[in-house]
Amino acid sequence: MKTLLPWLLWVWMAVVIWAAFFYSPLAAGFIGQSSRVLFFHVPLAWTAFVGFLAAAVWSARYLFFGRRLRDDRAAAVAVEVGFVFCVLATVTGALWARIMWGAYWNWDPRQTSIILVLIFYGAYLSLRGAVEDGEKRARLAAVYALLGVVVTPFFFFIVPRITYSLHPDSVINSRGEVDMESRMLQVLLAAFAGNAALFFWIHNLQCRLRALAEGKARP
Amino acid sequence: MWRLASNWAAEALAVFAKDWRCEFRTRYALNTLALFAFTTLVVVSASLGPLGTSAARGASVLPVLLWLILLFAGAAGLPRSFVHEEETHTATALRLAATPSALFCGKLAYGLSLVWALELLVAPLFLAMVSLAVRSPGLFVLVLAAGGFGLAAGSTLIAAIIAQAQGRSTLFAVLAFPVLLPLLILVVELTRNAVAGAPAGMALHQLLLYDGTVTIFGLMLFPVVWNP
Amino acid sequence: MSPTDLRFSGVSRRFGHLAVLAGVSGEVSAGQALLVTGANGSGKSTLLRCLAGLLAPDSGEIECREEGRSLDAAERRRRVGMVAPDIAFYEELTVAENLAFFARLRRARPERPAELLERVGLPGDRMAGALSSGMRQRLRWVWALLHRPRLLLLDEPFQNLDRPGETVTRELLEEHLAAGEGLAVIANPSSLEVSRVAARLELGG
């Protein structure tokens, strides 16, 4: 069963990509086929946030539940993989922005949030690179990851007020109802599930690789 | 119970007093902060030109410049509180002698007093040099105080983190920037409101919430950063 | 079993790929001293730092009991008196100001610094930055004894000391051990005649 899962994921993602182009209708108000970026950009962004949260959870586990280096490794890998997802989300978002609004970057609130998460990721990785001792590195990085998670919510409720958003209405509109055509929503959620699964699969592989490498390095 | 609290307070006070006593003997931080802030101030004012900037542009751009000056001066002068301890190896003695939370509070109080002193120097000079009139001086002072508090709190914790790492000066800026960004956005908005005479609104609550959150987080997690 | 003692077992610590300590064990009770010997780089200082609570060992147990109660790492840090080469003081403050600061932190009696300074022969009004290495070492002893600790951790305690300095610090050590409650772990590269040595621990190899 375990060896089957990656193949299942491959098939799932293939179907999602097909569905993004052929199953889902176009969204209103977008130029040409560009609304299809939705199925790539949004799940990438959500997964980047999930990665950020996962890193914080593992960091908290490291600090408060036994200081196991395994948890620290998991946090670091979550940031590394999440970083890639974040970069992809930012780039796809910028491309879409270019098509829709003529400029790659507008400091609209969502763009600002994703950039902030990206900067936090980068800062976390810089911190890890600057500490040699394993125990100290784990400890300091874990605290910083938690600080990041504590600070980012401020962003989400202060930034929207500063500028109005160029972003399309969110999936859930102000009334709290889901405001998207049902086929689009299906593909979007399926894409998110696929992205998240991809994240955790790559994460799992990387963690195991690291563990092996560390075990091997020891004489 | 009371004895414990007053011991703790005495410790924090001792750390605060010690830092200031050392500071008066060397004047390192004060000089750095003042020099940095003053130089930047002169550059800003000079580049805006002798007649300043138009009132409309001024109200929106100048608050940003003020806070950038404060932010960068802070980044230049505040990390020293912990970095110096590690560099001169006095940190070992401190680790063995001080209660971590009291140490953090003492250092925070020291950083806060530096930031407020800096603001006392910079803000009036800034207003004068760029000819900016503030319609709600009360709000302006409040924003400086609360914003300065947030700056000190965030900087103290991050200083404690980077003091134990390599590449300290650049690393401080890298780690502090994302943490202080929400603060910056809030204080700039509030300063704009103060200049325009508009009410503070939700932003003030959020600023105070930010200050409280970062301070409590620092108090709780500083012992983890400080000790193995 | 005395109410104050120190036991450690299986203490290991590595830095990167280098295993500096590998499964070190020992114990010492009140009134006794444990002498830790070994070549350079055998982990003596690392062991003492672990015992002091300044370093967390990768594995192993350290148990320090005072008055029958077991101390955790944070309490150990605060209760221990340590003399080590890397302990430094604030250069911009005088000796007396340094000690007053630490006395306040450690809740020692305010008169204690002056008593110890006189005993050891250090001028209180000298800037800590202007001390010779021998005087610095005497200052480290004073600092370690400010709060009347039970456990003394001494890493190269007699380095840089002249004859009078060594005499007075040895006396202080003797008094500490003779008082009944005190114990000490001493790390020193050269063999040293210290009475009441309960055991020797050889590291390295």
Reported as a single tens digit per residue, the pLDDT across B136-155 is 999 999 999 999 999 999 99
CA distance A195 to chain B (A): 26
Q: How confident is the model at residue C91 (pLDDT cuts 50, 70, 90)?
A: very high
What percentage of chain C exceeds 90 in pLDDT?
A: 48
Q: What is the mean pLDDT of residues B215-220?
A: 96
Read off the amino acid at residue A156. F
What pLDDT score does A1 carry? Answer: 66
Q: What is the per-residue DSSP string for B173-184?
A: HHHHHHHHHHHH
What pLDDT score does B114 carry? Answer: 95
Q: What is the mean pLDDT of residues C52-67?
A: 89
Q: Chain A residues with CB inside 8 Å of C56's CB? A: 67, 135
Closest CA to A184 of A23, A2, A8: A23
C44 pLDDT higher than 50 = yes
Closest CA to C107 of B208, B7, B44: B7
Question: Which residue in A has a C-alpha nearest to residue B165's C-alpha?
Answer: A131
Tokens of B115: 């930031």
Q: Chain C residues with CB inside 8 Å of B21's CB? A: 92-93, 97
CA distance A133 to chain C (A): 7
Tokens of A41: 């950009």
CA dist A57 and A71 (Å) reads: 9
Query: Model-level pTM?
Result: 0.90
Q: Which chains touch C (3 or more CB pairs under 8 A)?
A: A, B
What percentage of chain C exceeds 70 in pLDDT?
A: 94
What pLDDT score does B151 carry? Answer: 97
- Any residues with CB less than 8 A from the CB of B39 and at least 6 apart, and which? none
What pLDDT score does A160 carry? Answer: 60
Q: Chain C residues with CB inside 8 Å of A134's CB? A: 16
CA distances from B65 to A161, A169, B184, B211, C148 (A): 21, 33, 11, 21, 54
- Chains A, B: CB pairs < 8 Å: 83
Report how far Cα A24 is from the mean position of its chain's Cα atoms.
Answer: 23
What pLDDT score does A176 carry? Answer: 44
CA dist A10 and B81 (Å) reads: 53
CB contact under 8 A, C17 and A135: no
Tokens of C78: 């605060």
Q: Chain B residues with CB inside 8 Å of A122's CB? A: 174
What digits encode the pLDDT tens for the residues A21-77? 888 877 766 777 777 888 888 899 999 999 999 999 999 999 999 899 999 999 999
CA distance B200 to chain A (A): 13
Q: What would you report as the CA-atom Rg of chain A, rounded to the nearest whole angstrom?
A: 19
Strands C183-187 and C18-29: unpaired
CB contact under 8 A, B97 and C105: yes
Most confident of B47-51, B124-128, B211-215: B211-215
CA dist B37 and B45 (Å) reads: 12
Q: What would you report as the CA-atom Rg of chain C, rounded to the nearest whole angstrom?
A: 17
3-state SS class at B118: helix
**Contact (Cβ atoms closer than 8 angstroms) between residue A55 and residue A78:** yes
Mean of the per-residue pLDDT values of chain C: 88
What digits encode the pLDDT tens for the residues C116-146? 999 999 999 999 999 999 999 999 999 999 9
Q: Chain A residues with CB inside 8 Å of C58's CB? A: 135
Pick from B171, B177, B213: CB nearest A130? B171
CA distance B50 to chain A (A): 31
Is ipTM beyond 0.95?
no
CB contact under 8 A, C15 and A133: yes
Is residue B85 classed exposed, middle or buried when 0-12, 13-18 and 19+ CB atoms within 10 A define those classes?
A: buried
A41, HSE (Cβ side, Cα atoms, 13 Å) = 18
The single-letter DSSP state of residue C205 is -
What pLDDT score does A172 carry? Answer: 40
CA dist B39 and B73 (Å) reads: 10
**Contact (Cβ atoms closer than 8 angstroms) between residue A199 and residue A85:** yes
